[in-house]
Structure 1
Amino acid sequence: MIARGGGHQLVGISRSPEAVQGGIEARQGDYDRPEALLHAYAGLDRLLIIPSSELQPGVRGKQLTAAIDAARRAGVGHIFLVSAAGTREEADPGLGAAYWAGEQHLIKTATRWTILRMNYYAQSMAEEIQMSLNQGMLAGLGDERVAYVSRDDLAAAAAGALLSEGHAGAIYNLTGPATVSGAERAAMVADILGKPFSYATITEDQLRAGLSQAGLPELIIEALVEIKTNFVHGVFDILTGDTQRLSGRAPKSLREILATTLA
């Protein structure tokens, strides 16, 4: 965003404004304090709302609707929302419930809006693979075809949308350049490391047991199981050219991300 600013005044809003870098204006903002967001959003022509990492059922959806309402009250002309691939009607405690609530509220209340649906992060899968290296095996619930997108490419696509015209009322699916299965992920790792690395299909109960043995909290365990189940159901098996179209560059492949991470 900073590199492509093109003379626009950029504002970074965070609960920790001191962390905002790059010479842009920093403002205090907290989704759990919607009244304070009015000041944070004051004078903005365009706003990108990025969901928090909150996993408690109902909280993230309320945060998104509160942020949208604050943006409207502050007079923001065009609201951009980062959502998730495969978003559909869903009730809490499902992870997608917050994205559905945010999207629906945005569409119903905002004058000008754009939705950026992200695929699963390539870096998140790379971190999972790193934690599996000692076992020499990556586990999943099935074929798990996912069009992994890198965080940098998502950011570049969001910047492209914010800094250009013609996106009002659009819903974009931001994906990587290819869908990759579980077995294909393992083959990539084996090739990069030059040693055997396999993929195994396990049950949900086995996955829960393994995550529990690793000491993860119940809330995190259920979130990870739901994500893996969504992989199997094809929720992230969506491939588009939206990332390249908005960012102006070819998105990085999962293999490129893995090669950098595992190096």
Structure 2
Amino acid sequence: MKIGISGASGKLGATIIAELSARTGHHQLVAISRSPEKLGKGMENRKGDYDQPDTLRDAYAGLDRLVLIPSADLRPGVRGAQLKTAIDVAVGAGVQHIFLLSAAGTREASTPAIGETYWTGEQHLIRVAPRWTILRMNYYSQSMIDEIMMSLVQGVLAGIGEDCVAYVSRNDVAAATAGAVAGEGHAGAIYNLTGPEALTGRDVAAIASDTLGKAIVFSSITEEQLRSGLSHAGLPDVVADAIVDIKKTFVEGHFDVLTHDVERLSGRAPAFFRDVLTATKS
């Protein structure tokens, strides 16, 4: 069986490839990226750019299964359109089973909401793919840890209300994805990849304070205050808008989802947020 991984030069894509390599010795892996020169050696590398459908036709040719990871482009409407194009090209190329990395809490959404990407991708995949599997990721532990590190100077971790998130390690997402792709019986399934516990903003601040040895508090601020702070930090409007939107979904409960799907698919228990933070500190 030939398995393609789109977005292979990114952190998640590279980790999925490493996990698949450890599980699928009798399968052939194809690493696909818009920057194939960044890919490692030892497997077939192909150029595939979501914005250049002609490259996708060649990249997806002959594949039995394909993993689609959304791009990092935060412009409203862009990623949803990219996914629709990639899915259409993959189906036209004869790919029989497509695995889409999506987001926890996905529901009907339109631009400029960041969730539009996942709603558009999921709905189109279900409509047109011969066989499909959707893997909805909770929010990365590593992304929250980046935010914690940037908050150390002021000692304040900001949110826009009471939130609850089942943070999941990128490594656990990769392992669960690899387990699904290399296994059988996952067609038509929607999985929620979460960590082992749901944490509030105050929980995260307490864990960070204890682990890092520096007092950090959680503070609830308004959307306007958050946007202003992001702007003063020099972040582009499109990035600031995305961060505010994500924080809103935290409060609305999109990521307050807790399952055993990571362990079910990967064969190992997901890492606790505290342990991921400790490992990052080390």
Q: TM-score range by the shorter chain?
A: over 0.9
Q: Distance in 1 between matches of 2:133 and 2:273?
A: 26
Determine if contact 1:175/1:240 at 8 Å carries over to the other structure.
yes
Structure 1's 143 and 37: CA in aligned 2 closer, same or farther, altered over 3 A? same
Question: What TM-score comes out, normalization by structure 1 length?
Answer: 0.98
**What is the rounded CA distance, in whole Å, between the counterparts of 2:233 and 2:270 in structure 1?**
33
Match of 2:180?
161
Deviation at 1:175, TM superposition (A): 0.6
**Paired AA for residue 31 in structure 1:** Y
Q: Does 1:185 pair with 2:170?
A: no
Whole-Å Cα distance in 2 between the matches of residues 250 and 194 of structure 1?
Answer: 27
Quick check: 1:47 aligned with 2:75? no
Q: Give SS of 1:3's match.
A: helix
Please tell me the residue identity of whatever aligns with 1:161: A
C-alpha spacing 1:75/1:142, structure 2 compared with 1 (3 Å): same
* Cα root mean square deviation, aligned: 1.0
Deviation, 1:74, is 0.6
Cα distance in 1, alignment partners of residues 214 and 28 from structure 2? 50
Contact residue 2 and residue 22 of structure 1 kept, 8 A? no
**Is the 8 Å Cα contact of residues 153 and 243 (structure 1) preserved in structure 2?**
yes
Q: CA deviation at 1:18?
A: 2.1
Q: Which of 137, 154, 170 is the equivalent residue of 1:118? A: 137
Say whether 1:35 aligns with 2:88.
no
Shift of 1:166: 0.1
> Distance between the aligned counterparts of 1:111 and 1:193, measured in 2?
48
The answer for unaligned runs of 5 or more in structure 2 is 1-19
Stretches of 4+ aligned residues off by more than 3 angstroms: none
Of 133, 138, 143, 2:152 maps to: 133
**Counterpart mapping for 1:43-82 below 5 A:** 43-82=62-101
Q: Deviations over 1:83-118 (max 9, x none)?
A: 111111111111011111111111011110000011
Q: Is the 8 A contact 1:130 1:262 kept in 2?
A: no
Q: Name the SS of the counterpart of 2:247 in structure 1.
A: helix
What is the letter of the counterpart of residue 119 of structure 1? N
Q: Which moved more, 1:125-134 or 1:184-193?
A: 184-193
Q: Is the 8 A contact 1:150 1:252 kept in 2?
A: yes
Specify every segment of 5 or more residues in structure 1 that has no aligned partner in the other structure, as ranges. Answer: none
C-alpha deviation, 1:22, in angstroms: 5.2
Report SS of the residue matched to 1:206. Answer: helix
1:170 to 189, 192, 215: 189
Q: Secondary structure at the match of 1:83?
A: strand
Does the 8 A contact of 1:122 with 1:149 survive in 2? yes
TM-superposed CA distance for 1:148, in Å, is 0.6
2:126 to 86, 91, 107: 107
- Aligned partner of 1:93 in structure 2 is 112
User: Does the residue aligned with 1:134 lie in a helix, a strand or coil?
Assistant: coil
Work out the CA distance in 2 between the residues paired with 1:92 and 1:202. Answer: 25
State the shift of 1:142 in Å: 1.7
Name the SS of the counterpart of 2:71 in structure 1. Answer: coil
Whether the 8 Å contact between 1:137 and 1:197 is mirrored in structure 2 is yes
Distance in 2 (CA, whole Å) between partners of 1:244 and 1:22 is 30
2:269 counterpart (239, 250, 257)? 250
Q: Shift in Å at residue 72 of structure 1?
A: 0.5
- Residue 170 of structure 1 and its aligned partner are, at CA, apart by 0.3
* Partner of residue 151, structure 1: 170
Distance, in Å, in 1 between the alignment partners of 2:163 and 2:119 is 23
Q: Percent same amino acid among aligned pairs?
A: 62
Question: Does the aligned pair in 2 maintain the 1:114–1:169 contact within 8 Å?
Answer: yes
Distance 1:53 1:130 in 2: 21
Question: Which moves more between the two structures, 16-25 or 147-156?
Answer: 16-25
Q: With structure 2 as the length reference, what TM-score do the two structures score?
A: 0.91
Q: Deviations over 1:123-147 (max 9, x none)?
A: 0000000000011121111221100
Displacement of 1:199 in angstroms is 1.1
Q: For 1:70 and 1:162, how far apart are their aligned partners in 2?
A: 19
Q: How far is 1:195 from its partner?
A: 3.4
Residue 242 of structure 2: aligned partner: 223
Moved more, 188-197 or 70-79: 188-197
